[in-house]
Structure 1
């Protein structure tokens, strides 16, 4: 859930900054797989639906890729901070 919140918040901030092309990477294979396939697990359905809608309608291009956790340390810390502070209190 923390990674999904971080991705949604990053997309919303990119929209605010008028970014039109974005490539987001996550160390969550399950999340990247769900976003890539369009199959949203019930526990993440609302969040993944938000991410899909934002990525589809707000960007010329939007990509999601898996990255190993050891290469993604700072983003992982940020995602955990978002989880603890709540989705409405975390800016990317």
Structure 2
């Protein structure tokens, strides 16, 4: 859940910064698969629906890819901060 919230937050921040090409990488392979396939598990349905809608309507180019956790350290820290801080940090 925290990774999905972090991805949604990153998309919203990119919009605020007027970025129209974005490539997000995550170490959550199942989450990337769910985003890419459009099959949203019930527990993540709302957040994944937001991600799909935002990515399709707000960017000229938007890609999601899996990356191993060892390579994705900074994003993992942000993900954990979102999980522990509540909505003020990650739901801007």
TM-score (norm 2): 0.95
What is the aligned residue count? Answer: 91
The reply on whether 1:22 has 2:22 as its aligned counterpart is yes
Cross-structure match for 1:4: 4
Q: Which runs of 4+ in 1 moved over 6 A?
A: none
The reply on whether 1:50 has 2:46 as its aligned counterpart is no
TM-score (norm 1): 0.95
Root mean square deviation of aligned Cα: 1.2
Unaligned runs of 5+ in 1: none
Cross-structure match for 1:79: 79
The SS at the match of 2:89 is: coil
For each residue in 1:9-46, what CA deviation from the matched residue of structure 2 results, as whole angstroms up to 9, or x when unmatched? Answer: 00000000110000000000010000010000000000
Unaligned runs of 5+ in 2: none
